[in-house]
Structure 1
């Protein structure tokens, strides 16, 4: 039920203390919800287009709900949030969308007036069984009676304008959701940090909380995976639009919408890795820098005087960075790129420090303090050369000296302002975010063999015939070469030179500038040993390597054998010495994306859970602290979805000293793109980890019978998915019926769509992003549910479906899986491809997918006792519904072009259809959150 005290602004001191929230009265809450005043500036109802009248019922319900205090007492938080969404996002979208019709752009008025008609035609036509080609043809026949579009090329041109218009409509929804984030999300709900700490203190577990806070951390790693790339001029407009919506500046909103309409979205050329780095650094500077500082201040308040002074600057949050370091399948990332990105990061953080220290100086104008602050500002360099003149250790000493003087000489006046800056410096150093280096194990193996050919004496001639442990001893004992040879292959030579680049970055930006080497597709301990060996052979780290070698286990088989691989390393005496230098901590990465692609949704998630348990046990046996780093994508099919529920479900059998995750594309903009969302989502990650470590919950611990059931479900699901994946129609279907083969031409990211260059597209070389994205474009989202329905159906046939229902109620892990799968299924729309049921080649295959979806939906609703998918998450459900309605014409156009391209062999039209597919693909990926 709703917390009336919170709505009335009478929050507890703790919530004020932790969440930095301010009181707001019910009257203010009501006024903020009156969306009509937002546009009209008065209570009088403004004019609105006919197609938007239905929205006023939602608005009225919102007013009734907020003005009827008796009713207010009986509604839930989620109902309040839904009412807010309907009034603040959905209604405002309809009202602001009408402004597009006044844009001073050629033919925009005509296009905007026809889009609602086209949307209705798409929905009605597709659901009546028409193909996208038939829907579009019928639309022109019925609504182009004057034959304006009397040639195929003119029709294509109009459809291009529709695509451009739709992607801007979705940007408007994004801006509205971002601007109203705090009103449509429960920032102080049961998952919040403030709520968690309140519960911990009710159980008298303050000491345990302090213990966990002193060691627990969250690491967020920004990646440049190709799931979104707005040009910087578009990003600037979006940021300004958010501000204009928050300040209710209707004139500014209108001008920005006009600007948005005239600004190109599409990239004529692929962004370079450097472009991607610059793109993401804007988020570091403008959002993460202050958000992390704010959260660390709040957590320090919780710690209070009990916190050990030596750990005063414990890093609660750290940031990682992949652009410029991620070489896995990206031939455009080179050593020089990595160095340039490191310089960009250092320049960026120094700019932030200079900006901050100038603000601190305004308050700390005291004699003896102001001069020291000016000295520190000068230490950071100038506009011409952002290069620090003092080491980090010297900077820390200066800051500590100033802090003590503020306390002793000035009674601690303005100390919190200074400490906020000081903590940021301790957190971000001169590196801002650590550049992770990543390369595929197969490339690394080739690099090592090429080096071995150049230096044949470094290993015995019979090396390949030796036992694994003997190989490990030899590899881990290698000493620096007097001269590191140049390798003949450009990619292999660059891979070898990466270790020198990491050392140079550490010298310039500090040790945390670049210290992790991630091995994609890691197949065993020898892959780890070869990377360590190359770090030693290239010199500079002899005997005390300042590098963490991070194996990334991705496939189902590699996940199953991951503990065996790490055991062979942990039992090696030489590797144990290396771990001692690294404080007995071993980072291990698990790849959700490729795991799901390889073994299906349930098989991959249960496989990762078991792998983490086995790795935790092995690590504990050898006195090693395992740190799990999760390669998670945006959608649930690649490890996205509700991250709090997932991490809060990790029981005591899984090490949980840190939560480390990758975030990418739309996940960055949607979950961390503005200060409110960044603060909330960073807080939720911390809350999930602390909840796991401090509070006991039987739903977090799997019983043996629950494990047996999960094993059974996983085996049936895996078998079902593998049979589906091995179907002879599988790859032909994706290549012909989806825009998969056009992904590389959409110019979203610098990385190619597949790992190997040239030749046909093979499943094993296919990257997870275009794989999952292709299913998303088809609105089938197979990787998010396939096999789960088959597994549940087997239980039902045996009269045991109640066991799955009990598992959903009693296991947080299974509940998280089901909820996230439902999110994937909510984004399906089979009428879009229903025409394939008549396709002689693919009808049976399409029907197989559709039947699996129907069974999964039916059985999930039974075990969760919901009437519709995501009934328990009404805001998310409504947001998905709104977005899916907006992009329906775009996806219909895409399928129309795919159908046409196989029929029309006229060269100029063929090229036009191809461009329409690429343009609609770009628009769909770029403009919709978590589409790939």
Structure 2
């Protein structure tokens, strides 16, 4: 009944509004687009009916031209297809804006996973003190990355922001005007964005969304849980930042870019403080108080616009404390809450706004160490072991000058290390305190970074950096326990951890893990690795903080984030929840103040619930462990066989959009690691890899192998065991439901034409067979009649989005078929493929 009410509400405030405002498109003054709004439904119907009859995208699009247009030349047809793409892109934005505007009406303050819901539950079960105790030493951290899963130009982002507000107020005139602006505003970057462009794009969200949403959320937590004896820590919600600091595979991120981004972060938060202070001064206009605040305002202004003037967060807080004393002693503490709120923001965001991380690949560090060793010693790189090289270099007493090295990567790496001190001086230590090492699987990967800092002249006490190994491949995850055990007993590293308050960050890569091991195996491997790393850290009295490299869709570790973290048992350290977000996850889950606040709350309560409210469904018993492990291994074998198929990489290269990701101006980072022309599986980036499967509407990394594993146990007469596992384990249930989400966004009829393909027919049939099996097995396991049965709103949203983009998918596949056959204007068809990437990517937001 409740589900029916939710669907009806969604129909009224989202679906109906979309139909009404979509009709405004009919009258938009697009160049040569007056009849697009009327033609598009015909292309949708031709696609929907055609695929069910087994027609190919080429047949469908050609029949559309024949039946519904009088176009004859290829150029005319191509022009129409480009116009349809532009039209659909804007429909996606309109639907996003309507759905975002409805957020508050679809969610309540007391919904499951909110701060208020947690308070009510804790009050009833007498756990309030336990909640406060957990809050005292717990935090969540969202780390923004520039990974290109979506990239609206800044101008479009601003229109989306304004459109959402206009829809909330049902201002038809303003909506009409904004849709006209949207129609005239380019959606595609003429040039590839630089890392600085990417940083500025996300800083926009920091300034106009997160300054308010996190500030308001903290005030709410303080009001609900604060007492005379307890004030929640201002560190309870934190932000991290990768654009400009993530050098892994991105040659465009230089040491200079890192400095510029750090400065932009500092200036941006000071601008927010300056603007906020104007409102504070409007209330605190009292003698003595106003003088201090005016002086502070002038110092903030000078720090924004004059390079030689800086202000620290301690200095700002000191002046606010001084103002508060006068306010209390002379003015009855009037509007003290206004001053309190402002000071809390300064404590939360400091002068850094978000912590800028540095990230680089371990293999690059090894090359740098080798280059330094050859330069300093005059010996060859292979003349000594890595440990011997480091001992030799440190004993040489040399302090390196980056400009002495001809190799650009060595020079840039050393400059980045020198920059750490400069950034910490201007932005505070919170501004940069982590160095993340991709592809970590050995002790030397961590020690190389420590050695490089020493070689750049840092004394032991000055290494104010947390060195963070990122374990992401199956091999890396396998080795992680032994690596950390060895590091914890290393005399040098032990002392370093002592200086870092015995705290170790460890990052785990869901995206590359899934690419490497398949969905079920990767998630189970990460779970068990976390358990082992928790134990080895506790044995060494180290507080371990896990940092998850999660993407938007389930295939990249995304999906139901709250459910995922709430399902972790007590065998996994729960000191902090940290995860990466990017692209459509930023805009769809944290894209406006209401959504961001709600989803920050969901994460926060997931971590707190996990410790305070014990449940047997969170802790796996030996039998459940054995069962998941068995399923994971069977799934891994099926996925590994697929990966080993000789058509695996060629299929992606020739039949998907993989080759086109790197050619779109969607992000600054190349779509693959390695400079060679030959495409190797290990060089594939997780985003274009998962994204290409999504564009084909096959979503292979989100389910492949799961169905075979379930069927194997069913054939052994053990399916009741799996059903009991599903009912009894929150963790396993979350994996099943996330995989269902991947399958719900799958549409194999789009590529039915491939089943008889001379080269790839057999491979396509393997994919389709596993999809059909996985769907059948999961429905039987859950007892559902349809996928995502218990999530009516998400299911409805996905259905509407899939309907919007179906013509776009037809156009994309049509263009790919023309390219494969080498027919017509190849350059134009390649542009069609690239342009249709954007709308498809931007529409796929129900993934986290």
Which bracket does the TM-score occupy, shorter chain normalised? over 0.9
Pick from 639, 661, 668: which aligns with 1:750? 668
1:124 corresponds in structure 2 to 49
Alignment of 1:58-69 (within 5 A): none
Deviation of 1:861 (Å): 1.0
Q: What is the CA–CA distance in structure 2 between the aligned matches of 1:167 and 1:712, rounded to whole Å?
A: 44
Alignment of 1:225-624 (within 5 A): 225-308=147-230, 313-382=233-302, 384-385=305-306, 389-456=310-377, 463-464=384-385, 481=399, 483=401, 486-624=404-542
Report if the CA contact (8 A) 1:476-1:529 is conserved. no
Q: What is the CA–CA distance in structure 2 between the aligned matches of 1:256 and 1:410, rounded to whole Å?
A: 47
Distance change in 2, residues 1:911/1:304 (3 Å): closer
Deviation of 1:569 (Å): 0.3
Distance change in 2, residues 1:442/1:197 (3 Å): same
Distance change in 2, residues 1:465/1:297 (3 Å): closer
Report if the CA contact (8 A) 2:441-2:475 is conserved. no
Report if the CA contact (8 A) 1:328-1:440 is conserved. yes
2:78 corresponds in structure 1 to 156
Q: What is the CA–CA distance in structure 2 between the aligned matches of 1:386 and 1:99, rounded to whole Å?
A: 49
Deviation of 1:390 (Å): 3.8
Deviation of 1:491 (Å): 2.2
SS in 1 for 2:238: strand
SS in 1 for 2:34: helix
Pick from 92, 98, 103: which aligns with 1:181? 103
Alignment of 1:781-796 (within 5 A): 781-796=699-714
Alignment of 1:132-211 (within 5 A): 132-144=57-69, 147=70, 149-211=71-133
> Which consecutive residues of structure 1, in runs of 5 or more, have no partner in the other structure?
1-74
Q: Over aligned residues, Cα RMSD in angstroms?
A: 2.0
1:654 corresponds in structure 2 to 572
1:29 corresponds in structure 2 to none
2:830 corresponds in structure 1 to 914
SS in 1 for 2:399: coil
Q: What is the CA–CA distance in structure 1 between the aligned matches of 2:694 and 2:656, rounded to whole Å?
A: 9
Report if the CA contact (8 A) 1:188-1:194 is conserved. yes
Deviation of 1:800 (Å): 1.1
Q: What is the CA–CA distance in structure 2 between the aligned matches of 1:525 and 1:321, rounded to whole Å?
A: 26
Deviation of 1:827 (Å): 0.5
2:742 corresponds in structure 1 to 824
Question: Residues 481-511 of structure 1: CA distance to partner in whole angstroms, max 9, x if unpaired?
Answer: 2655632211231012111111111111111
Question: Residues 690-729 of structure 1: CA distance to partner in whole angstroms, max 9, x if unpaired?
Answer: 0012111111100000000010000000011010011001
1:848 corresponds in structure 2 to 766
Q: What is the CA–CA distance in structure 2 between the aligned matches of 1:248 and 1:485, rounded to whole Å?
A: 59
Q: What is the CA–CA distance in structure 1 between the aligned matches of 2:847 and 2:104, rounded to whole Å?
A: 24
SS in 2 for 1:318: strand
Alignment of 1:654-673 (within 5 A): 654-673=572-591
Report if the CA contact (8 A) 2:460-2:496 is conserved. no
- The answer to which of 170-179 and 379-388 deviates more is 379-388
Report if the CA contact (8 A) 2:351-2:427 is conserved. yes
SS in 2 for 1:527: helix
Asked if 1:803 is matched to 2:725, the reply is no
Deviation of 1:380 (Å): 1.2
Deviation of 1:452 (Å): 1.2
Distance change in 2, residues 1:747/1:142 (3 Å): same
Question: Residues 656-679 of structure 1: CA distance to partner in whole angstroms, max 9, x if unpaired?
Answer: 111111110010001111111000
SS in 1 for 2:544: strand
Q: What is the CA–CA distance in structure 2 between the aligned matches of 1:387 and 1:823, rounded to whole Å?
A: 53
Deviation of 1:296 (Å): 1.1
Q: What is the CA–CA distance in structure 2 between the aligned matches of 1:628 and 1:200, rounded to whole Å?
A: 26
Question: Residues 739-789 of structure 1: CA distance to partner in whole angstroms, max 9, x if unpaired?
Answer: 110111111100010011241221111100000000000000000000100
Report if the CA contact (8 A) 1:81-1:183 is conserved. no
Distance change in 2, residues 1:247/1:568 (3 Å): same
Asked if 1:716 is matched to 2:637, the reply is no
Deviation of 1:928 (Å): 3.8
1:39 corresponds in structure 2 to none
Question: Residues 374-408 of structure 1: CA distance to partner in whole angstroms, max 9, x if unpaired?
Answer: 12112213463377544333333222233344334
Distance change in 2, residues 1:307/1:720 (3 Å): farther
Deviation of 1:902 (Å): 2.0
Deviation of 1:314 (Å): 3.5
Report if the CA contact (8 A) 1:544-1:578 is conserved. no
Question: Residues 530-562 of structure 1: CA distance to partner in whole angstroms, max 9, x if unpaired?
Answer: 011101110134444101111000001111110
Deviation of 1:461 (Å): 9.2
Deviation of 1:927 (Å): 4.5
SS in 2 for 1:551: strand
2:595 corresponds in structure 1 to 677
Q: What is the CA–CA distance in structure 2 between the aligned matches of 1:871 and 1:570, rounded to whole Å?
A: 47
Deviation of 1:420 (Å): 1.1
Question: Residues 354-385 of structure 1: CA distance to partner in whole angstroms, max 9, x if unpaired?
Answer: 11111111111122211111121122134633
Distance change in 2, residues 1:390/1:745 (3 Å): closer
Report if the CA contact (8 A) 2:794-2:846 is conserved. no
Question: Residues 838-870 of structure 1: CA distance to partner in whole angstroms, max 9, x if unpaired?
Answer: 212111111111111111111111111111000
Q: What is the CA–CA distance in structure 2 between the aligned matches of 1:459 and 1:546, rounded to whole Å?
A: 32
Report if the CA contact (8 A) 1:458-1:478 is conserved. no
Report if the CA contact (8 A) 2:390-2:451 is conserved. no
Q: What is the CA–CA distance in structure 2 between the aligned matches of 1:776 and 1:304, rounded to whole Å?
A: 46
Deviation of 1:184 (Å): 2.5
Report if the CA contact (8 A) 2:312-2:351 is conserved. no
Asked if 1:644 is matched to 2:562, the reply is yes
TM-score by length of 2: 0.97
Deviation of 1:413 (Å): 2.1
Alignment of 1:879-890 (within 5 A): 879-890=797-808
Distance change in 2, residues 1:347/1:485 (3 Å): closer
Report if the CA contact (8 A) 1:781-1:827 is conserved. yes
Deviation of 1:923 (Å): 2.8
Q: What is the CA–CA distance in structure 1 between the aligned matches of 2:577 and 2:636, rounded to whole Å?
A: 27
Deviation of 1:457 (Å): 8.3
- The answer to which of 91-100 and 180-189 deviates more is 180-189
